[in-house]
Structure 1
Amino acid sequence: MISQILTAVGAMIFGVAVCAAYFLFSNKLLEIIFPAKEGGDVHRVAVNLRRRGIIRPWLFLGPAVSLLAIYLMYPVVATLILSFYGPDGNQFVGGANYVWAVNDNEFRRSIFNNILWLAVVPAACTFFGLVIAVMTDRIWWGNIAKAVIFMPMAISFVGASVIWKFIYEYRGGTDAQIGLLNAIVQLFGGTPQVWITIPFWNNFFLMIMLIWIQTGFAMVILSAALRGIPEETIEAAVIDGANGWQIFWKIMVPQVWGTIATVWTTITILVLKVFDIVLTMTNGQWDTMVLANLMFNWAFRGFDSGRSAVIALVIMIAVTPIMIWNIRRANAETKGH
């Protein structure tokens, strides 16, 4: 334990020292290449100072941009090339992997399940987060309620899956039901079920877990946005005779619509990459497979790098437009301020 702490501290000190050395060396080199003294030539000095100002930011951005190019752009290009090769990555097969994807039932099922997740989870998280944010802002113990609702965000997806496995737990025969859901069903005279094996509906049982985790995130962001609404607007609506429902839908929602869209798209990106919950709860069985799990299966169980690369590209293509839209919206809001 002590050795690990010392290694971590040493790595931080070394990293800071390297950054400081790079800062000093690059600035000194820039001053040598573009000196500020040119024998009284004022025009030349001005040109050199302007060039320093243009180049200096790139000296500090350079390492970060280089790392992004290596760790982001290179894998994308390598994955694209790999998608045209066979299982071992050596035999060129052209578009055979793409033909397989179009004709494969499990691939189509994974896309359908991803679309189902996209249709339910972002909308549910955003809706519940907005409703809870409005309700908790009106009660004295609202901050306590927010803390409790936000708490699942601190739990990993695997940890949450373990918790929900106990909720969906089923015991056959005459054994007592220890699963919370089956215990409730049995209390009201119903028949216990193996919930996560029921085709189609088991997807919703898995979605509930992600909604439970991400509603706290949506609530916190939307609560901050709601507090930015001028009180005069609410007071004017009350004076005009608007009821609580009208104030919520016609006053509050339009003024935080940009934040709602940002929360929705952020959760959408997360849903497109959902993996841990499905792997831990069902391992993709009983028609619950999603694209990320299918990619994992072909890469590390089917040992077919070509097919897994095709699935990875599909996920990337699906995520990219949403990320671009989110970034553009954030930039537009920043310029507005």
Structure 2
Amino acid sequence: MSPVLQGLVTIVIGVASCVAYFFFSNMILDKVLFPPRGENAGRNINRANQWRPWLFMFPAMFVLGLYLVYPVVGSFWRSLFNRSGDEFVGLGNYAILFNSPEFQTAVFNNILWLIFVPAASTFLGLLAAQLTDDLKWGNIAKSLIFMPMAISFVGASLIWKFVYANDFDIGLINAIRGLFGAEEPIDLMQVPFWNNFFLMVILIWIQTGFAMVILSAALRGIPEETVEAAIIDGANPFQVFFKIKVPQVMSTIMVVWTTITVLVLKIFDIVYTMTGGNFGTEILPSYMMTFMFRDDGRATAVAIVIMVLTLPVLWWNIHNARKEMR
């Protein structure tokens, strides 16, 4: 069967299955379990209405449980065993991790990514949103800034490999250094500590367009009356931007910030493509991959650590979303 035909068959079967599930489950609920007749008709109708939301949520809850909850529980249980999975070691894998210099380096680098990338992406996105809204050719500028979002992380990494290349003829940065009299090219990926920031620039380049689009919509939603009142009161453009506009879009800024933060915790492609985690650029996902095929217990322990680090960010995002709904 061709992929196109297989996709169409899958869509037809999937849609038909959903329709059949909701039709027959409602029929069983209304005509078999709680029929609206007899002395208990009113009570049965109320009971059916109480069960109906759970009936509609069951497919999603089942899929989440099967593909999210079960793997998490299974991964945690697997992290309590040794390399071959035949000996229970408890928290031994976690103790080895936290005493490992490579793991400590990975955690430190992840913290650098968490601090620098969301802050820089959000700030540059906000700045681009404000500046492009005031330009006649702003839509063209927005398209150019957003364009990296259409490139995969691996593709973006390959593009920036040419920028960072250790060659005066190919590497853009080394070519610029050569114009200023540099005698030898340098491999930026092997510069200790700073090579992490060179990798972060790639993700910032990609995510600035995302932040710009979301924040541009938020800035356009600011009531003009507040801006005009501030101008009449003598506020300069910087005061209007930082004291009038930014506070009104702060909730959107936090959403963008947390979204990019969650993405940073999952980043792997850029580091793996550019350095493979070498030269002090190891992060938790790439560190996990070093054990994936030779020590499953320790690899799943790293995965659990990544999940635990992600939970506070997700909680903060959900907390802010609920606060806005009140």
> Partners in 1 of 2:23 and 2:246 — Cα distance?
51
> Partners in 1 of 2:82 and 2:187 — Cα distance?
39
> Partners in 1 of 2:298 and 2:205 — Cα distance?
33
Aligned residue runs from structure 1 range 199-238, under 5 A: 199-238=192-231
2:304 aligns with: 313
Deviation, 1:182, is: 1.1
Q: Deviations over 1:72-122 (max 9, x none)?
A: 111111111111111111111222212211210000000000001111100
> Partners in 1 of 2:109 and 2:85 — Cα distance?
29
1:326 aligns with: 317
Deviation, 1:260, is: 0.7
Paired residues of 1:83 and 1:310 also in contact (CA < 8 A): yes
Counterpart check, 1:182 vs 2:185? no
**1:261 counterpart letter in structure 2:** M
**2:323 counterpart letter in structure 1:** A
> Partners in 1 of 2:132 and 2:238 — Cα distance?
16
Aligned residue runs from structure 1 range 34-113, under 5 A: 34-38=34-38, 41=39, 44-113=40-109
> Partners in 2 of 1:52 and 1:99 — Cα distance?
51
Counterpart check, 1:193 vs 2:189? no
Q: TM-score, normalised by structure 1?
A: 0.94
Counterpart check, 1:293 vs 2:292? no
> Partners in 1 of 2:305 and 2:97 — Cα distance?
10
Q: Deviations over 1:150-208 (max 9, x none)?
A: 1101111001011111111113xxxx521111111111212421111111010010000
After the TM superposition, which of the residue ranges 285-294 and 138-147 deviates more from structure 2? 138-147
> Partners in 1 of 2:263 and 2:239 — Cα distance?
32
Q: Deviations over 1:27-77 (max 9, x none)?
A: 110112111121xx3xx2211111111111211210110111111111111
1:166 to 159, 162, 167: 162
> Partners in 2 of 1:138 and 1:200 — Cα distance?
38
Report how many aligned residue pairs link the two structures.
324
Shift >2 Å, 4+ stretches = none
> Partners in 2 of 1:246 and 1:319 — Cα distance?
35
Counterpart check, 1:141 vs 2:137? yes
> Partners in 1 of 2:250 and 2:313 — Cα distance?
17
1:117 to 113, 118, 138: 113
Deviation, 1:334, is: 2.6
Q: TM-score, normalised by structure 2?
A: 0.97
1:10 aligns with: 9
**1:84 counterpart letter in structure 2:** L
Paired residues of 1:170 and 1:177 also in contact (CA < 8 A): no
> Partners in 2 of 1:309 and 1:268 — Cα distance?
22
1:26 aligns with: 25
Paired residues of 1:79 and 1:313 also in contact (CA < 8 A): yes
Residue identity (%): 55
**1:34 counterpart letter in structure 2:** F
RMSD: 1.1
> Partners in 2 of 1:297 and 1:54 — Cα distance?
50
**1:228 counterpart letter in structure 2:** G
Structure 1: 5+ residue runs without aligned partners? none
3-state secondary structure, aligned to 1:294 = helix
**1:260 counterpart letter in structure 2:** I
Paired residues of 1:166 and 1:178 also in contact (CA < 8 A): yes
> Partners in 2 of 1:138 and 1:312 — Cα distance?
45
1:243 to 229, 236, 251: 236
Paired residues of 1:114 and 1:291 also in contact (CA < 8 A): yes
